Structure 1
Amino acid sequence: MGRPQSPRPPPLVVLLLLLLLLLLPLPLGAGDSLPTESRLMNSCIQAKRKCQANPICKAAYHHLGSCASTLSTPLPSEDSSVSADCLEAAQQLRNSSLIDCTCHRRMKNQTTCLDIFWTVHPARNLGDYELDVSPYDDTVTGKPWKMNLSKLKMLKPDSDLCLKFTTLCILNDKCDRLRKAYGMACSGPHCQRHICLAQLRNFFEKAAESHAQGLLLCPCAPTDKSCGERRRNTIAPSCALPSEPPNCLELQSRCLTDALCRSRLMDFQTHCHPLDILGTCATEQSRCLRAYLGLIGTTMTPNFISNFNTSVALSCTCRGSGNLQEECEQLERSFSHNSCLRKAIATKMHFHSQLFSQDWAPPTFSVMQHQMENLALRTQARVPFLFSCTLTLVLLQSLW
Structure 2
Amino acid sequence: MEGPHKDRNSNMCVCVCVCVCVCLLRCVTCSAPPPAAGWAGPPDCVQASELCNQDGQCSSRFRIMRQCLSGGERERSAMLGSRECRGALEVLQDSPLYRCRCRRAMKRELQCLQSYWSIHTGLAAGEEFYETSPYEPIHFSEEFRHASIISDSSLSRMSPCSEAGKPCNPCLDAAKACNLNETCKRLRSAYNSICSKTTPPQPGSPNQEPCSRKRCQKALRQFFERVPWELSYPLLFCSCPDQACAERRRRTIVPSCSHQERHRPNCLELRRTCRSDVLCRSRLADFHLNCQVTPHTVSGCPHDNHRGCLMSYVGLIGSDVTPNYSDNSPSNITLSLWCSCRGGGPQEEECEAFHRDFTHNSCLRNAILSFGYGSDGGPVPATEPASTFPPPVISKPAPSFHSNAIKPLDTACVFSTCANLQVSLT
TM-score (norm: length of structure 1): 0.71
Q: 1:5: which partner in 2?
A: none
Matched, 1:302 2:361: no
Matched, 1:266 2:285: yes
Distance across 2 between alignment mates of 1:73 and 1:216: 40
> Cα distance 1:291–1:92, how it changes in 2: closer, same or farther (>3 A)?
same
Is the partner of 1:243 in helix, strand or coil?
A: coil
- Which residue, out of 248, 251, 254, partners 2:273? 254
> Cα distance 1:245–1:176, how it changes in 2: closer, same or farther (>3 A)?
same
Greater Cα shift, 138-147 or 212-221: 138-147
Distance across 2 between alignment mates of 1:287 and 1:166: 24
Q: 2:13: which partner in 1?
A: none
Greater Cα shift, 342-351 or 142-151: 142-151
Matches within 5 A, 1:151-300: 153=158, 155=160, 157=162, 158=166, 159-190=168-199, 191-221=211-241, 224-241=242-259, 242-276=261-295, 280-283=300-303, 284-300=305-321
Matched, 1:62 2:63: yes
Q: CA RMSD in A?
A: 3.4
Distance across 2 between alignment mates of 1:218 and 1:163: 9
Matched, 1:334 2:357: yes
Distance across 2 between alignment mates of 1:79 and 1:325: 26
> Cα distance 1:300–1:128, how it changes in 2: closer, same or farther (>3 A)?
closer
Distance across 1 between alignment mates of 2:156 and 2:182: 13
Distance across 1 between alignment mates of 2:107 and 2:249: 30
> Cα distance 1:304–1:45, how it changes in 2: closer, same or farther (>3 A)?
same
Q: Residues 162 and 230 of structure 1 are in contact (CA less than 8 Å); yes or no, is this contact kept in structure 2?
A: yes
> Cα distance 1:179–1:148, how it changes in 2: closer, same or farther (>3 A)?
farther
Distance across 2 between alignment mates of 1:276 and 1:125: 26
Distance across 2 between alignment mates of 1:113 and 1:132: 17
AA in 1 matched with 2:326:
I
Q: Residues 274 and 280 of structure 1 are in contact (CA less than 8 Å); yes or no, is this contact kept in structure 2?
A: yes
Q: Residues 236 and 303 of structure 1 are in contact (CA less than 8 Å); yes or no, is this contact kept in structure 2?
A: no
Q: Residues 152 and 164 of structure 1 are in contact (CA less than 8 Å); yes or no, is this contact kept in structure 2?
A: no
Superposed CA offset, 1:102-122 (max 9, x none) = 112221111111111111122
Q: Residues 178 and 203 of structure 1 are in contact (CA less than 8 Å); yes or no, is this contact kept in structure 2?
A: yes
Distance across 1 between alignment mates of 2:237 and 2:221: 17
> Cα distance 1:267–1:199, how it changes in 2: closer, same or farther (>3 A)?
same
AA in 2 matched with 1:95:
D
AA in 2 matched with 1:330:
A
Is the partner of 2:73 in helix, strand or coil?
A: coil
Q: Residues 72 and 123 of structure 1 are in contact (CA less than 8 Å); yes or no, is this contact kept in structure 2?
A: no
Distance across 2 between alignment mates of 1:285 and 1:108: 26
> Cα distance 1:127–1:234, how it changes in 2: closer, same or farther (>3 A)?
closer
Matches within 5 A, 1:1-400: 42-70=43-71, 72=73, 82-123=81-122, 125=124, 132-137=131-136, 150=155, 153=158, 155=160, 157=162, 158=166, 159-190=168-199, 191-221=211-241, 224-241=242-259, 242-276=261-295, 280-283=300-303, 284-308=305-329, 309-351=332-374, 365-368=398-401
What fraction of aligned residue pairs are identical, expressed as a percent? 35
> Cα distance 1:365–1:114, how it changes in 2: closer, same or farther (>3 A)?
same
Task: List gaps (5 residues or longer) in structure 1.
Answer: 1-11, 13-39, 355-363, 370-400
Superposed CA offset, 1:300-326 (max 9, x none) = 111111111321111111112111110
TM-score (norm: length of structure 2): 0.67
> Cα distance 1:350–1:140, how it changes in 2: closer, same or farther (>3 A)?
closer
The alignment of Structure 1 onto Structure 2 pairs a total of residues equal to 319
Distance across 2 between alignment mates of 1:353 and 1:270: 22
Superposed CA offset, 1:247-302 (max 9, x none) = 11110010000000000000011111124588853342210111011101101111
Deviation for aligned residue 1:85: 1.1
Superposed CA offset, 1:175-216 (max 9, x none) = 111111110110121220010011111111111111121100
Q: Residues 175 and 235 of structure 2 are in contact (CA less than 8 Å); yes or no, is this contact kept in structure 1?
A: yes
> Cα distance 1:293–1:316, how it changes in 2: closer, same or farther (>3 A)?
same
Distance across 1 between alignment mates of 2:157 and 2:222: 26
Task: List gaps (5 residues or longer) in structure 2.
Answer: 1-6, 8-40, 200-210, 378-396, 403-426
Q: Residues 295 and 301 of structure 1 are in contact (CA less than 8 Å); yes or no, is this contact kept in structure 2?
A: yes
